[in-house]
């Protein structure tokens, strides 16, 4: 399994989680050379710390469009 070289900070939570998942699956399948599996493990650990950090700090980001044609706003 090729190890992604994308810097972890550039990943979204979903991307990081998906990568972590595929790393765990690859490690569990147990068909890798030791050196490769250690490198994967390290990347996996970094990903899991990153994901946990994102969850801890998560805050809903809200923006509002202003340029849609909108009529009177009543409800």
Partner 1 sequence: MFQSSLFQPVSISVSDLTRYVRTLLENDSVLQDIWVLGEISNLSRPASGHVYFTLKDQSSALRCVIWKTSAARLRLPLQNGMAVEAHGQISLYERDGQYQLYIDSMRPAGEGYLYQEFLRLKARLEAEGLFDEERKRPIPARPRRIGIVTSPTGAALQDMLNTLRRRYPLAEVCVAPAAVQGDDAPAALVAAMRAVCSLFQPDVVLLARGGGSLEDLWAFNDEWVVRAVAALPVPVICGVGHETDFTLCDFAADLRAPTPTGAAELCSCEIGEVAGELDDLRGRLENSILFRAQLYRRALADQAAQLAYVSPIRRVQNDRQRVDTLAARIDRSMRHVLELKNARARGMASRLAALNPLAVLGRGYAVVRTGTGRIVRSAGEVIPGDMLDIRVAQGRIQADVTGTEPTP
Distance, C-alpha 19 to centroid of its chain: 7
Please enumerate in sequence order all residues whose Cβ is within 8 A of that of 42, keeping only pairs 6 or more positions apart, or say none. none
| CB of residue 7 to partner 1, shortest distance in Å | 19
Number of residues lying near partner 1 (CB under 8 A):
39
Say if residues 32 and 26 touch (Cβ distance below 8 Å): yes
Residue number, 5 or 34, with CB nearest to partner 1: 34
Q: Which tokens belong to 2? A: 């090729």
Site of interaction with partner 1 (CB under 8 A) = 12-14, 17, 20-21, 23-24, 27-28, 30, 34, 37-38, 41, 44-45, 48, 51-52, 54-55, 58-65, 67-75
């Amino acid at each position: 399994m090729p190890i992604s070289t994308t810097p972890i900070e550039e990943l979204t939570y979903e991307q990081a989680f998906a990568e972590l998942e595929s790393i765990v699956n690859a490690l569990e399948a147990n068909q890798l050379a030791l050196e490769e599996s250690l490198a994967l493990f390290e990347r996996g650990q970094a990903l899991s710390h990153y994901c946990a950090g994102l969850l801890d700090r998560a805050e809903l980001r809200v923006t509002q469009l202003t340029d849609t044609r909108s009529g009177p706003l009543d409800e």
